[in-house]
Structure 1
Amino acid sequence: MGDIIKVFFMNSINDLDNLLIISAVIRKYGYKIGDLLIYIILSITLSRTIYVMVIHSLAELPGLRFITGVIILFIAIRLVWSIENDNKARTIPSISIFRMILIVLATDFSVCLDSVIITAELSSTPLFIITGIFLSVSAVFFLYNSFSEILGNTSWIQVIASGLIAHIAILSIVKDPITRIPVLFIEKFFEIHINSWINIFALDIAIIVIIIGVIRRFQNRTIL
C-alpha cells in the first residue's frame, strides 16, 4: 500500500507540467481532454507501466534520450509556430481518435521518462505500479477536465507548454550517453562545472520559445 501512495504522489506532482504539454498538443488537433479522457487514462496507465518494467535497459540505451529530445524540440517549435488567436483555435478534430492517442502516447513518452525512472526505483511490483499510475493519471486529468473551459480555451497554455517542452528536450539531449564525451570535453576545456550551465542553457531555450509564441500570438491578433 505504501508503494502505491508513493507512486501516486510522485506521478501526480510530475504530471502537473506534463499535463499542460499534453493538453496543448491535444488542443492543436481540435480535441478536448473530455473527449478523450477514458482513452488517455487507460493508454497512459498501460504505457507507463510497460516503460517502468523495461526502464533499466531503456534509460541508458545510447541515442534514446538524444532522439526523443530532438523530436520533442521539433514538437515545441512546431507547436509555438502554429499559435492561433483564441477565437481561431480549431474546434473540429483534424485527425482520428486513434492517431490522436498515438500522438499523446509519443508526447507522454518524451516528457515522462524521468518520472518513469523514479517510479522504477519506488516499486518493482507491477500491481502497485499500475494502480499508483492509474490513480495519479485519473486524478490529474479529471481535475484538468473540470477546469477545461477556463484553462483549455486560451492559447497562452500552448505558449507555456511549448517552453516546457523545449526545456525538457534540451535536458533530455544532454543526458544521453552519446553526449557525455562532448559534454566532458567542454567541461575540461573551459574548466567549468557544466551541469549548472546546461540548466541555464535549457532555460534560455525555453524562454526563447515562449517569446516566439508571444510574438506569434500578437501577430495573429494584429492580422485580425
Structure 2
Amino acid sequence: MTDILKIFFMNFINDLDNLLIITTVIRKYGYTVKTLFIYIVVCLTLSRTLYVLVIHSLVDFPSLRFVTGMIILSLAVRLAWSIEKDKRVKIIPNISIFQMMLIVMATDFSICLDSVIITSELSSNPSFIAIGIGLSVSTLFILYRSFTDLLGNTSWIQVIASGLIAHMAILSIVKDPITKTPLVFIEKYLEIHMNNWINVFALDVAIIIMIMGVLRRMQNRSSL
C-alpha cells in the first residue's frame, strides 16, 4: 500500500505540467477529455506500466528517443501554428480514436520518461505500479474537467503547451544514444560543457516556437 501511495503522489506531482500538454493535443484534434477519459486512463496506465517494467533497456534503445523527439517537436510546431476554433463551434474529430490514442501515448512517452525512471526505483511489483499510475492519471484528468472551461476559452494555451513540448522534445533527442557520441566529441574538441549549451538550445527552440505561435495569432486577429 505504501508503494502505491508513493507512485501515486510522485506521478501526480510530476504530471501536472504534462496534463496541459496532453489535453491541448487532444483538443487540437477535435476530441474532449470527457469523451476519451476511459481510453486515456487505460492506455496511459498500461503503457507507463510497460515502460517501468522494461525501462532500462527501453531508454538505451538507439534512435527511440530521437524518433519520438522529432515527432513530438513537429507536433509542437503544429500546435503553435494552428488556431483553436471558437469553443461554441462544434469541432468534428478529424482522426479515429485509435489514431488519437497513438498520438497521446507517443506524446506521453516523450514527456513521462523521468517519472517512469523514478517509478521503477519505487517498486518492482507490476500490480502496485499499475494501480499507482492508474490512480494518478485518473485523478489528474478528473480534476482537469473542473477547469476545462478556463482552458477551452483561448487558443493561447496552445502557445504555452507548444513551448513545453518543444523543450521536452529537444531534451529527449539529445539523450538518445545516437546523439550522445557526437555531443561528447564536440564537448571534448571545443572543451565546453555541453549540458549547459543543450539546456540553452532547448529553451531557445521553445521560445522561437512560442514566438511563432504569438505572431500567428496576431496575424489572425489583424485579418479578421
For this structure pair, what is the TM-score category when the shorter chain's length is used for normalisation? over 0.9
List per-residue Cα deviations over 1:74-123 (Å, max 9, x = no partner): 11112212134646976222222222222212221222122112211111
Q: Describe how 1:13-92 pairs up with structure 2 within 5 A.
A: 13-84=13-84, 86=86, 91-92=91-92
Residue identity opposite 2:202 in structure 1: A
Q: Look up the match of 1:210.
A: 210
Residue identity opposite 1:176 in structure 2: D
**Per-residue deviation at 1:151?**
1.3
Q: Look up the match of 1:6.
A: 6
List per-residue Cα deviations over 1:131-153 (Å, max 9, x = no partner): 11011101111111111011133
Task: Note if contact 2:65-2:176 (Cα within 8 Å) is conserved in structure 1.
Answer: yes
Q: Look up the match of 1:180.
A: 180
> Could you tell which deviates more after superposition, 69-78 or 87-96?
87-96
TM-score by length of 2: 0.94
2: distance between equivalents of 1:152 and 1:38? 21
**Per-residue deviation at 1:62?**
1.2
List per-residue Cα deviations over 1:32-55 (Å, max 9, x = no partner): 111111211111111111111111
**Per-residue deviation at 1:71?**
1.1
Number of matched pairs: 224
**Pair 1:162 & 2:162 matched:** yes
1:89–1:117: structure 2 CA closer, same or farther, 3 Å change rule?
farther
1:178–1:89: structure 2 CA closer, same or farther, 3 Å change rule?
farther
**Pair 1:99 & 2:104 matched:** no
1:86–1:199: structure 2 CA closer, same or farther, 3 Å change rule?
farther
Task: Note if contact 1:85-1:217 (Cα within 8 Å) is conserved in structure 2.
Answer: no
Residue identity opposite 2:13 in structure 1: I
Task: Note if contact 2:84-2:155 (Cα within 8 Å) is conserved in structure 1.
Answer: yes
1:21–1:203: structure 2 CA closer, same or farther, 3 Å change rule?
same
1:186–1:73: structure 2 CA closer, same or farther, 3 Å change rule?
same
1: distance between equivalents of 2:124 and 2:149? 39
**Per-residue deviation at 1:182?**
1.0
1: distance between equivalents of 2:20 and 2:105? 14
Query: What's the secondary structure of 1:138's corresponding residue?
Result: helix
**Per-residue deviation at 1:176?**
0.9
Residue identity opposite 2:50 in structure 1: I
1:169–1:99: structure 2 CA closer, same or farther, 3 Å change rule?
same
1: distance between equivalents of 2:27 and 2:61? 32
Aligned-residue Cα RMSD (Å) equals: 1.6
List per-residue Cα deviations over 1:176-198 (Å, max 9, x = no partner): 11111211111112211111121
List per-residue Cα deviations over 1:167-221 (Å, max 9, x = no partner): 0111011111111121111111221111112111111111111111111111111
Q: Look up the match of 1:147.
A: 147
Structure 2: tracts of 5 or more residues without a match: none
